[in-house]
Structure 1
Amino acid sequence: MAKLPVKYYVVDAFSDSAFKGNPAAVCLLEEERDEKWLQAVAAEINIPDTCYLTRLSGSDSLDSSNPRFRLRWFTPVAEVKICGHATLAAAHTLFTSSLLNCDVIEFVTKSGTLTARKVADIQTIDGSNIQNHESQESFLIELDFPTIPMIDFNSAEFSPISKALNGTSVIDIKRTATEDDLIVILSSGETVVELQPQFDLISKCPGRGIIISGPAPLDSGFDYYYQFFIPKLQVNENEH
């Protein structure tokens, strides 16, 4: 029996304009596919992350009244246990499609059950709060992710990390206890945005990848900026 065609979308996360932000492919599957096929499709699409959604029903959803989907993420060369911007892309795809009419979606993943919640986009105009009801519904998406424990990083190894980040001054470094990523704290969010990393040197650093972060400007509306470099998985820049 022939396989059904696969419908997929390319979503630019963290942006309201096409060809900006962080791209992720969202594939909607009618049936489970083997890992070799999933990896081959991700390699063919060849953007930082491709995620796959399969609707769960029956006994798989008995413990929840919310729609549930199995969610997996692949870079062009490997499966990863969790990906923030691709999860956001998956939630956006489902919330804006005709498949669902709900405000909460649960994703069953290798990192546990993740929740995406659709919330109203309240905008302030001339000091008054109004709900945007323009030609297309405007909404925000809240993601509930697990807390990842961190451990100390040997300060004697700061120098090669700084060199890989083009000589940038490093405030502190932590190491995640799950995926073995390095979290590098820089002096400011502006430094995070302007940094030009040396990907060949990052590939030689300990751990899987390097996350750089710094406090956002006070008038930005954000708490911090960050970027995630994983050249070992052919993802030079993932999220920011």
Structure 2
Amino acid sequence: MAEKKRVKYLVVDAFAESAFKGNPAAVCLLDDDNDNERDDAWLQSLAAEFNLSETCFLTPIIGDFPRFRLRWFTPVAEVDLCGHATLASAHVLFSTGLIDSETVEFDTLSGALTAKHLKIDDEIELDFPVVPTFEVNYIDDDLSLFSKALNGATIVDVKATKKDILVVLSSWEAVIDLKPRLDEISKCPCEGMMVTASASAGSTFDFCSRYFAPRFGINEDPVTGSAHCALAHYWSLKMNKCDFFAYQVLSLHRYT
């Protein structure tokens, strides 16, 4: 019986400067994209075993410059885009010497994504797509469901992306104090729900947000890079600007 190949992996706390903060992602390094032992069911099972908001898989693509196939899995499903796991993947490649370059390209379900290592500040810059938000004529039953899911919080605007719903509340404090009903969010016509509000006058931030995706095994995501692809689009139209300083709230114990 042939010995099974081992999988090298690292767990990285993305969007953080120290351990046990930010948003953890498991980064798994694969050698062969055609390994029959590692089909989609196997990848999903490993993601369920890690039980993190995202487990991602990196497979090198032979070429003239560093390029990798990148796939992201929650504990229950594969997703099209994930910011923090992409950041974690880039960190692993740049910090461990696996590539001899300050730029790497990822081939993903959302197209080609680029990460650059800015050596002066030792930071990583991600080039991510804009996720447009648009109007949807929700029926009264949908709006009632959203209100119930957010425990009666005052809703001032609702937009949608192809997969998620963006709900704007009346204030920064309303987002922070929100006690969502996860069972009701699971019933909403979306994969995930972004809840956001503009910052108070005089704040160093522009807006805050929280992100819930219980149907995908993520009750609340600590820091969601992909959600900000849509949040930035929404707030750019509202604030008439393109550069933002955003804050994602995490309140793990405020559920009903």
**Shift in alpha-carbon separation, 1:87–1:218, aligned structure 2, 3 A:** farther
Shift of 1:113: 0.3
1:170 to 155, 163, 187: 155
CA distance in 1, matches of 2:200, 2:32: 46
SS at match of 2:166: strand
Range moving further from structure 2, 109-118 or 215-224: 215-224
Is it true that 1:47 corresponds to 2:52 in the alignment? Answer: yes
Classify the secondary structure of the residue corresponding to 1:150: coil
Structure 1, unpaired ranges of 5+: 123-138
Q: 1:146 & 1:140 partners in 2: Cα distance? A: 19
SS of residue paired to 2:91 = helix
Q: Deviations over 1:1-44 (max 9, x none)?
A: 43321111111122222222211111011112311110110011
Provide, for residues 178-199 of structure 1, a one-character-per-residue CA deviation record: whole Å limited to 9, x for no partner: xx21011223444333322111
* 8 A contact 1:106–1:113 mirrored in 2: yes
- Identity among equivalent positions (%) equals 51
Q: Distance in 2 between matches of 1:120 and 1:214?
A: 34
CA distance in 1, matches of 2:173, 2:114: 31
Match of 1:174, SS? strand
What displacement does 1:217 show?
5.0
The Cα offsets for residues 120-156 of structure 1, whole Å up to 9 and x where unpaired, read as 465xxxxxxxxxxxxxxxx222111122233313353
Find the residue that maps to 1:171 and give its secondary structure: strand
CA distance in 2, matches of 1:221, 1:141: 22
Query: Residue 84 of structure 1 aligns to which amino acid in structure 2?
Result: G
Q: Which residue of 2 aligns with 1:234?
A: 217
1:77–1:234 Cα contact (<8 Å) kept: yes
Q: CA–CA distance in 2 between the matches of 1:224 and 1:150?
A: 16
- Which structure is higher in RCO with an 8 Å CA cutoff and minimum separation 6? 2
1: distance between equivalents of 2:201 and 2:71?
A: 36
Map 1:155-234 to 2 at 5 A. Answer: 155=138, 156=140, 157-177=142-162, 180-217=163-200, 221-234=204-217
Provide closer, same or farther for how the CA distance between residues 185 and 71 of structure 1 changes in structure 2, counting only shifts above 3 A: same
* Distance (whole Å) between structure 2 residues aligned to residue 98 and residue 27 of structure 1: 16
- Structure 2 residue aligned with 1:94: 93
Describe how 1:1-240 pairs up with structure 2 within 5 A. 1-32=2-33, 33-57=38-62, 61=63, 66-120=65-119, 122=121, 139-155=122-138, 156=140, 157-177=142-162, 180-217=163-200, 221-238=204-221, 239=224, 240=248
**Once superposed, what is the RMSD of the aligned Cα atoms?**
2.0
Note the C-alpha offset of 1:221: 4.5
> 2: CA distance between counterparts of 1:140 and 1:187?
34
Higher strand share: 1
Gaps in structure 2 of 5+ consecutive residues: 225-247, 249-256
TM-score w.r.t. the length of structure 1 is: 0.82
Counterpart of 2:229? Answer: none
Shift of 1:200: 0.6
User: Separation in 1 of the partners of 2:114 and 2:82?
Assistant: 13
What amino acid is aligned across from residue 110 of structure 1 in structure 2? L
Partner of 1:152, secondary structure, is coil
